[in-house]
Amino acid sequence: MSDPFADIRPYRDEEVSPVLARLLETPEFLDVLGAYRLGKLASAMPWLVRPVVRRLLAREVRGVVDVASMQQVIKLYMDRMIERSTGGFSVSGLDKLDPAKGYLYISNHRDIAMDPAFTNYALHQSGRNTVRIAIGDNLLTKPWVSDLMRLNKSFIVRRSVSGPRELLAASKQLSQYIQFSVCEENAPVWLAQREGRAKDGVDRTEPVIIKMLSMSRDKKQQSFSEHIAGLRIVPVAISYELDPCDALKARELHQLASEGAYEKAAQEDVASIAQGIAGNKGHVHVSFGTPLPAGLESPEAVAAEIDRQIIRDFCLHPTNLFAFKRLHGDDAPLPDNLFRESGACTEAEFDARIEAMPEGHRPYALGIYANAVVSKLA
């Protein structure tokens, strides 16, 4: 029987070993890994570094025979990353969710790689199944990148297809795969609430995402609200005390406002991924909401309920309040119950971070942090 999702789904257990063998023979992948571990030496002498990296990697993945053992290796990297680049990690809301059920987690979107990674880490820490991650093919610029992502339970969102008919077919296949994962295989799925990061700090769900999810509905058998209820959608709010890409986002927002357009540089998304992984994030909190209630009759109603939960559950840090006061004044009204969690960044340190940016970029950088407070007040 043919596999209708073979070209987009994550790799299965029996595919892991051959894909790892292929990666170990991919020079560009070894060069990237070498640069991460050894810096300039890797680019200066790749012929010397590649065999060393290959041996080190082969040793690390020697016991990897399936997806679960592959994720154990990735967990070691996550542990190291959290220790080096965060000031702490905390979770709330998971106690309200059934650990035996697969949910469709729809989260706000601030970081390309780390949003699903932190969601996964929270689930893994509590002994729950990790998610299958939706990732746009615009980020899979090389075959080895696609291999690496699909080894880590990622599935492909085909955004680069051309023509309305092809786009419709790709969207329907994606919708069917998500429904199959959650409803047939009881496997949790992670999906961003919008295409592209919320660079301005305003977390809003795009109804078109919900329309895509509804494309797998059997209209003769199910109403729209019944279909949505069956997907077990749970909103997730991820908050970072510091955004490693705040200066990059502020530059883009400033250019859009002043020139009306922004042209991405080659490999800019890859650079953002690297910055988001390695950069200082301060304290990180992941808040899990509750499954959407029954009776939501339209994509707009579903999006509004996801937004309501994400805004409600978003964990504020002092940096959000520092930025809000700089933009709106020290006397701007703030309900007492807004402050949720302490952080490591002082107001002086935050001010210095903002002042290091070009003057025209600063209001946009402040908005990245302050708009979470504005959303709660609204």
What residues does 237 pair with on adjacent strands? 287
| Mean pLDDT per 10-residue section of the chain, whose length is 378 residues | 90 95 91 74 73 89 93 89 92 96 97 93 94 91 89 93 91 97 97 94 97 94 95 97 96 95 81 88 97 95 98 95 94 77 92 98 98 93
Degrees (nearest 5) of the Cα angle 369, 319, 115?
60
Q: Are 341 and 90 contacting, i.e. CB atoms less than 8 angstroms apart?
A: yes
Non-local (6+) Cβ contacts of 286 within 8 A are 89, 90, 91, 92, 118, 119, 122, 236, 237, 238
Instruction: Give the pLDDT confidence score for residue 267 in this predicted structure.
Output: 73
| Type of residue at 113 | A
Which residue has 């919320």 as its token pair? 198
Q: How many other C-beta atoms lie within 10 A of the C-beta of residue 152?
A: 20
pTM here?
Answer: 0.93
Non-local (6+) Cβ contacts of 374 within 8 A are 324
The per-residue b/e assignment along 276-315, b for 16 or more CB within 10 angstroms, e otherwise, is bbebbbbbbbbbbbebbeeebeebebbbebbbebbbebbb
What residues does 136 pair with on adjacent strands? 157
CA 201 to chain centre: 14
Identify each DSSP E strand in the chain by its residue range: 88-92, 104-107, 132-136, 154-157, 189-192, 233-240, 283-288
Q: Is residue 178 exposed (0-12), middle (13-18) or buried (19+ Cβ within 10 Å)?
A: buried
Q: How many other C-beta atoms lie within 10 A of the C-beta of residue 175?
A: 18
Instruction: Give the pLDDT confidence score for residue 41 in this predicted structure.
Output: 67
- CATH architecture for the domain at 87-377: 3-Layer(aba) Sandwich (3.40)
Instruction: Give the pLDDT confidence score for residue 89 in this predicted structure.
Output: 94
What does the domain layout of the chain look like in residue ranges? 1-65, 87-377
Instruction: Give the pLDDT confidence score for residue 42 in this predicted structure.
Output: 63
